[in-house]
Chains A and B, each alone.
Chain A
Amino acid sequence: MTNHWIDIKNADVILIMGSNAAEHHPISFKWVLKAKDAGATVIHIDPKFSRTSARSDMHVPLRSGTDIPLLGGMVRYILEKEKFNREYVAEYTNASFIVGEGYDFKNGLFSGFDPSAKKYDQKKWVFTVDENGVPKRDKTLNHPRCVFQLMKKHYQRYTPKKVSAVTGVSGENLLKVYEIYAATGAPGKAGTMMYALGWTQHTVGVQNIRLGAIVQLLLGNMGVAGGGINALRGEPNVQGSTDHCILWNTLPGYLPLPTSDQTTLEKYLRANTPQTHDPKSVNWWSNKPKYVVSLLKGWMGEAATSENGFGYGWLPKADPGVDYSVIFLLDRMYKGQIKGGFILGHNPAQSMPNSNKVRKALDKLDWLAVAEIHNSETTDFWRRPGVDPKKIQTEVFLLPSCQRGEKDGSITNSGRWLMWHAKGIEPMGRSRSMGSMVVDIFKRVRALYAKESGAFPDPILKMVWPEVYDADGVAKRINGAYTRDMTVKGKQYKKGEQVESFLFLRDDGSTSSLNWLYAGSYGSAGNLARRRDLAQTSMQARIGLFPNFSWAWPVNRRILYNRASVDPNGKPFNAAKPVIAWENDKWVGDVPDGPAPPMASPRGKYPFIMQMQGMGQLYGPGRVDGPFPEHYEPAETPVRSHPFSAQLSNPCMKGAQSDMDVLAKPGDPRFPFVLTTYGVAEQWCGGVDTRNTALLLETEPQLYVEMSPELARLRGIGNGEPVVVESARGRVEAIAMVTVRLTPFTVLGKTVHLVGMPFCFGWTTPGAGDATNRLSASVCDPNVSIPEYKACLVDVRKAQKVTELHV
């Protein structure tokens, strides 16, 4: 979230799209309802009427995979009716930037497309720059090649008629949504967007979010109280694990993973450190060398010296252009290219798409170690239904893991608050924390290397490694410390003393930090994640900001890009709900995005400090599938064409290729219905924890498929009857939940039925049903490789015989 949970209460309009917030983030509704009490309007746009819709002012059913048409139509409306915040757009976004002559858009494709590689030459999309390399601007926004005009032209095509035809949303509903939401462009008004996997899990996932952010920038909703673009991140510590690089392509703190052609630290830093000659742009990532070197010092300690590039050569490196994300990893496993490995707290045999293939992939391993709290479809894949355990050669090790209440540690909540939790009880049986498993396993591996040596022993032998796992000790190292006695700005620091924030990190090896974003969480004042102090100033009280409760990254800033909440003179756009204000030559309120004075002053800075040019990116030349979001159908779609172009699906879409990765044709008569998948409030993610919690299983005991009464009639299915759902990849049994909460869509003049299923059930819970993901496809977004769980094609029919469910 750019903002945080409490801040939702400051919104005038709340747009929940691509999320079932009430069910998956119940606590968010504490704040949504508070906003409603204060007069806010809540709109829920989602294929299904859910518990979220029940508490919203308006539910708008939308065909899964058509968020871009709906939002594109909103951009068109905002521009046409001049609802945008002109000062904000001209001063704080790249609307005024002049785009080079290389950029073009025709027939659904941007310029520079190479069909054989399914890739764009992104150099075609660059800005026109002056002699200093700074983009040329026209703040009147009239230049025909400025971003604003190109954007206007692009979304001119998203007429209400076309949007309505492709999304299945009535023209009346569209207009209502546009009117209500665009009204937050007025000064002093704020609209927030709450989204989750309903936006991300598409082959256009990144562009869905980009378009949401574009709307927010146009309306001046970024950086303000009650605004922002808010990814609702869940209890499994999604935020914290992403910050600490759960994804293959980053190092902690969103530093890019080195590639094998970046052979030295200098080459790596040169390739990844953006430079600007615009003195008003903070260009925060220009600090990257300090964070990288401090990370290497944190990992390698004394062994990291300036002579050896601080041990950069010891880091694992990715081959350029190779995708190591989990879909492709599992694909390589299926093809026998992986011998063994560890799976920690993850249940791919149930939660990854096309799980029939995933299960076969696991069969190919020689060995597998799984750390889990309960037995899961992954720990027990070798004895799954229909398989003879004797024929599976994989040796499987189960490492019993303890639960959160049995260990110290932290989670980072969706609002980027680092929250410490203390152990309540001792771990059950021989279970232990995953941290202690990793510490001990690595120690044994290291002892073997010390004794027997082996290939490339240096990183293993030289890494700083604790004797025993200690969560507090790790938190300290994450914050970072001085590696030698130092004098900074006249102040003395001793070797081993904690650094106070990332402003003190250096690229000369004198500081260490395992994650620059968290530097400041554990300085001289101790572990700030433990704080539960409600003290605040009266200004902070107005927007529900509690700076002394826990600690938020970065530097305890609670609302990101808060310099965009004030005008160029530092005066809040919304005087009633100020985030920061420039008073008596200093900032008050939240921790500002940098100490520089307001933008209008000679030393002032632009607000979007993480962007090289300091501006909110309406035009995003950094995305591999285009600088403006454009509508493409899901990889499996019920339509054979759409009204925006002849390019049916995302031209850059990725996917696994194997005999088991079959896709239904567009409009395939064998699979006429759209399937969307989701969680359910009472089961947690893949359900391994909650299916093993009897009281929760009591509330949601079995796999179901929600369908409209119209579809049920069409297929002769009664409520509560077992049915078979089938895709080009698999077959799943489920109980029919026939409900008026689903409604058939009229898409391009034809009726399209959509069904929905939770993904949380698996065969290790007897009679509960087995993985819904046997239906979904291993196709993904080209920017971040997130799978398209939210839309595929299926057929549904009455079950003749039931084997997966107790009925």
Chain B
Amino acid sequence: MAKALFIDTSRCIACRGCQTACKEWHGLPAVPTRQRGTHQNPPDLNPFNYKLVRFTEAKTAGKVEWLFFPDQCHHCLEPSCKGTAESFAPEAIVVDKKTGAVVYTEKTANLTAAQCKEIQQSCPYDIPRRNDKTGILTKCDMCIDRIRADLAPICVKTCGTGAMNFGERDAMLAMAHHRLGAVKVSHPKAQLVDPEDVRVIYLVTNPEPALKKQGKQAVESYSRRELLGGLVSPFRRMAG
């Protein structure tokens, strides 16, 4: 049966348990980091971090808002990364029939750096990252090994607050819509991100893309221009 994750960012406390557990499960080494004036570390997804909690803060009309976004592959129903890769190296990117997980195989090593860049650019959420040493293209694999062993993905298992959820896609969609109704009471702008197109369904309380994916610090107030200027990697479609 087709699986899905529901990520309720309104319940996320940015403990980064999921981010760290993901690395541990996949045996990924630590990357050297620096304090750069934000808690977000490493600064971005990379071949050794498939999951990254993004921190974004802003003060508008005296009210502080701090958004946490546990970023990862959305496991698209029609993955454009796979579409792009197909012509370069068939079977480099596959969709697992049983779960629907989009999985990158060792064959991604047959892709050139330029092709990887193209694949990355074709991803609407800017997810894939190339390991320049091995040539392998990397991202979240939905813990397909765990799912096959009847276990939830490690990020879901680790999350203590109910932000990360896993199950049948229908059940996750139902949960997402139910939660959206509840969250809208306090956050009228809350949205689900592309729920019809992905297997990793995010609920966001504030869909301003400028605030969300840039990891931008200390946005004291943002004008319309800045807002539009920030629209570099918008979500394809928001569903109310």
Which residues of chain A have a CB within 8 Å of any CB of chain B?
22-23, 26-27, 29-30, 33, 37, 49, 51-55, 57, 59, 681-682, 694-704, 709, 719-721, 735-741, 806-807
Contact = CB atoms under 8 A, between A and B. Distances in A.
A705 to B, nearest CB: 10
A740 B57 CA distance: 8
A30 B161 contact: yes
B212 to A, nearest CB: 14
* 8 A-B pairs with least C-beta separation: A720-B37, A694-B30, A702-B35, A719-B37, A740-B59, A22-B13, A54-B66, A735-B35
Given A27-B160, A719-B217, A741-B66, A51 B14 contact: yes
B13 A51 contact: yes
Given A53-B66, A700-B41, A740 B218 contact: yes
Chain A interface SS verdict (over half): mixed
Interface stretch (B18-26, B119-127, B148-156, B164-172): B18-26
Interface string B45-60: 0000000000001110
Instruction: Name which of B19, B182, B218 has the most chain A CB atoms within 10 A of its CB.
Output: B218
A698 B14 CA distance: 15
B184 to A, nearest CB: 14
B33 interface: yes
B195 to A, nearest CB: 21
B161 A33 contact: yes
A702 B220 CA distance: 25
Contact of A698 (B38, B42, B220): B42
Contacts of B15: 22-23, 26, 51, 681
A328 to B, nearest CB: 35
B109 to A, nearest CB: 25
A30 B162 contact: yes
B183 to A, nearest CB: 10
Most buried by A among B13, B34, B41: B13
Contacts of A697: 30, 33
Given A51-B66, A739-B57, A807 B13 contact: no
B68 interface: yes
A733 B42 CA distance: 22
Nearest to B63: A59
A29 B57 contact: no
Contacts of A721: 37
Contacts of B35: 700-704, 720, 735, 737
Contact of B41 (A29, A49, A698, A740): A698
B64 interface: yes
A169 to B, nearest CB: 14
A304 B23 CA distance: 56
A53 B57 CA distance: 12
Given A695-B30, A735-B37, A740 B220 contact: yes
B17 interface: yes
Nearest to A806: B34
A703 B37 CA distance: 10
A709 B219 CA distance: 11
A10 to B, nearest CB: 18
B37 A33 contact: no
B229 interface: no
Contact of B13 (A23, A703, A738): A23
A49 B64 contact: yes
Contacts of A57: 186
Nearest to A740: B59
B199 interface: no
Contact of B64 (A33, A55, A694, A741): A741
A709 B64 contact: no
Nearest to B60: A740
B161 A695 contact: no
Contacts of A704: 35, 37
B19 A740 contact: no
Contacts of B36: 719-720, 735
A57 B38 CA distance: 23
A697 B162 CA distance: 25
A742 to B, nearest CB: 9
Given A33-B11, A701-B32, A740-B64, 8 more contacts: A29-B13, A53-B66, A55-B11, A696-B20, A699-B20, A702-B35, A720-B37, A740-B220
Contacts of B11: 33, 55
A481 to B, nearest CB: 39
B162 A33 contact: yes
A737 B37 contact: yes
B114 interface: no
B217 A739 contact: yes
Contacts of B34: 701-702, 735, 806-807
